[in-house]
Amino acid sequence: MKELYIYQRGKKLRCGYTTGSCATAAAKAAALMLHQQQPINQVKIQTPDGIELSFEILNPVFDRLKASCSVIKDAGDDHDSTDGMEIIAEVRKRADHVINIEGGEGIGRITRPGFWGKVGDAAINPVPRQMISGEISSVYDCGWDIIISAPRGKEIAGKTLNEKLGIIDGISIIGTKGIVEPMSVDAFKQTIYLEIDSIHNSGSDEVLLFLGNYGQMVAEQLGLSAPSVKISNFIGDSVLYCKNLGFKKVTLIGHIGKLSKLSLGAFYTHSSTCDLRLEAFVYYLALAGAPLDLMEAVNHCSDTEEALNKVFDNNYGKIVTNMRQGCIDRIRKYVKDPDFNVDVLIYSMERGVL
């Protein structure tokens, strides 16, 4: 396959290929074999962005009625649970011009409506369906029955977010660009958006956003029952997406280390990009009229748990309430709605919910 690379943080990383591209390549190769009645060892396809990709074709089988073959998913340097799995396509010609794309073994089924398809449909997203239809139509002017399978799909699906998205019993055939960028921020955000979409489509008007797994435990301990999404460091993007979808209430749950940054207006909180934790403590201590020696002591702390202990030991624990309000105020400014119904819960590993 054609080698594509991106550079992130000074490292050269090899791009991979979506399950949608793999399914498209397998379907086109099978159609070529059925039409030409000869084996195919390699096939080229176009991504939606116009990039030409070449795939090695495995296990070619054909007769006069049908043909099948497979492609091995290559995720490049991306940490993808579907890396190395086999994607199979089986095709048959039709007498009409209908192109029917169905899911076979290992392809999940949609149980909740969303942009990815109707309830009961195979979990083959719209862009891969368009890719498959476009490439297979170029082989011969007729209709086609196409079955996409992934023998290890049900096993691999347990390592994905499919169940939370309402997709059961297999993987999804996905991808909007045909190419997977390693550790892609955009891909991570799209996953978050899919989960938020799923909650919105279920009819819920409230959502919990937690920054890490411990935040989910905190929500459970507090008895918060609204549907939840793990958003990692993507606070601004996630909250704004919820606002634009029309959620009536958003609750954000996170550790003091992350939310102290938000209290100063940082909406992407990864440490490689933003580290304002102790500065936030100093800022709110200054607003509270704390003595300079306390601010200096906090500024020299190694982490927020240590800083938090100093603050409480010196009777300035009230600044946590001010930080929480600072988070709320800055979110409302960020979404440009002073009445946006957002709540923020801050916790410490040592002190619990603050």
pTM as predicted? 0.63
1-10, 295-304, 316-325: range with highest mean pLDDT: 316-325
Q: For the domain 5-180, what is the CATH superfamily, name and number?
A: CbiD-like (3.30.2110.10)
**CA–CA separation, 6 and 24 (whole Å):** 23
Residue type, 146: I
Q: Is the pLDDT of residue 108 over 60?
A: yes
pLDDT in tens, 316-326: 999 999 999 99
Domain boundaries, the chain: 5-180, 185-353
In the block, tokens 């500024």 appear at 299
| pLDDT reported for residue 289 | 96
| pLDDT reported for residue 342 | 97
Of the ranges 8-12, 53-57, 81-85, 141-145, which one carries the lowest mean pLDDT score? 8-12
Q: Is the pLDDT of residue 315 over 90?
A: yes
pLDDT in tens, 132-180: 999 999 999 899 999 999 999 999 998 877 776 778 999 999 887 887 7
The number of helices, as runs of H, and strands, as runs of E, in the chain is 11, 18
Residue 153 CB neighbours (<10 A): 28
Q: Which one has a higher pLDDT value, 258 or 81?
A: 258
**CA–CA separation, 4 and 215 (whole Å):** 37
Q: What is the mean pLDDT of residues 284-310?
A: 93
| pLDDT reported for residue 71 | 97
What is the CA angle 29-31-35, rounded to 5? 120
**CA–CA separation, 329 and 67 (whole Å):** 61
| pLDDT reported for residue 287 | 96
Q: Is the pLDDT of residue 24 over 90?
A: yes
Phi-psi region for residue 315, left (φ > 0), alpha (ψ -120 to 50) or beta? left
| pLDDT reported for residue 186 | 72
Question: Sorting pLDDT into bands at 50, 70 and 90, what band is 225?
Answer: confident
**CA–CA separation, 92 and 84 (whole Å):** 26
Question: Sorting pLDDT into bands at 50, 70 and 90, what band is 35?
Answer: very high
